[in-house]
Amino acid sequence: MPQIKLLVEGGAMQPGPTLSQQVGPLGINVGHLISKVNEATSKFRGMKVPVELDIDARTKDIKVNVFSPPVSELLKKEFGLAKGSGEQKKRCSANASIEQIISVAKTKMPYMLSKNLKSAVKTVIGTCVSLGVLIEGVPASEVGLMIDEGKFKKEIEQEKTETSPEKKQELNSQFDEIVKAQEIVIKAEEAVKEAAKAAKEATVATTTPATTEGAKTTEVKKEEAKPSESKSAPKKEKK
């Protein structure tokens, strides 16, 4: 039985040449297949979802196996992100509560090799690093160590997944202040780069004419040093 593995947009899979090449030789109606996949992945709208298709080439029966989306997709949906920061050390993309991290860890844990929730939480935190997500106002790269030292032990043990409205508001306000501070630093760095670029261009503009003039002077001196072609060479005396 042919098996096809795909990563599709939940509930919004579209036809494409790659899919047609894979299922065309099996005599499968692509439109029917897409309809089945979209129905099976509808609850994962806005996320990339791994899918396996078991196709019976004889009966044309299609079985759609839907797997849990990658941690990065779950996090982006949780925080309403289209993509990660791209400049993790300069720009943050979100400020998560530990409860949100625990929620994603619990969703993904059945598909992980993590031995317990704490381990799953740390795995999710690792993905937060690559997306530029802060956790409780702290860079995600520091939170794993904090958990090892006992921070958030109560929340993890009690498997807390709900963030209170008050805490969400506090985290959002904190995030706004962090973003403002980052923008100030980024603008300052850009100003320094522009100043350095302008100084370099000014130096080039100042030194180039002098160099050219010097080259001309050298050429003139070389011309003066050449013997005059109009003078005839001295004749040798006969003995």
pLDDT class of 239 with cuts at 50, 70, 90: very low
pLDDT band at 219 (very low <50, low <70, confident <90, very high): low
Residue range(s) of every CATH 1.10.10.250 domain in the chain: 71-185
Give 86-136 as a DSSP string: S-TTT---EEE-HHHHHHHHHHHGGGS--SSHHHHHHHHHHHHHHHTEEET
The token duo for 117 is 């929730």
Task: Please tell me the predicted confidence (pLDDT) of residue 183.
Answer: 86
Condensed to tens digits (0 to 9), the pLDDT of residues 30-82 reads 888 899 999 999 888 888 899 998 888 788 888 999 988 899 999 998 998 88
Q: What is the pLDDT of residues 91-100, one digit of tens each?
A: 889 999 999 9
For CATH 3.30.1550.10, list the domain ranges present in the chain: 3-66
DSSP per-residue string spanning 226-237: SPPTTSPPPPPP
Degrees, nearest 5: CA angle 34-36-41: 95
Condensed to tens digits (0 to 9), the pLDDT of residues 106-118 reads 989 988 888 899 9
Q: Is the pLDDT of residue 171 over 60?
A: yes
Q: What is the DSSP letter of 205?
A: H
What's the token pair of residue 132? Answer: 């530029």
Which pLDDT band holds residue 142 (cuts at 50, 70, 90)?
Answer: very high
What is the pLDDT confidence band of residue 197, given thresholds at 50, 70 and 90?
A: confident
User: pTM here?
Assistant: 0.69
Which residues are bridge partners to 5 per DSSP? 52
CATH of domain 71-185: 1.10.10.250
User: CB-based contacts of 191: which residues, under 8 Å, 6+ apart?
Assistant: none
- CATH of segment(s) 3-66: 3.30.1550.10
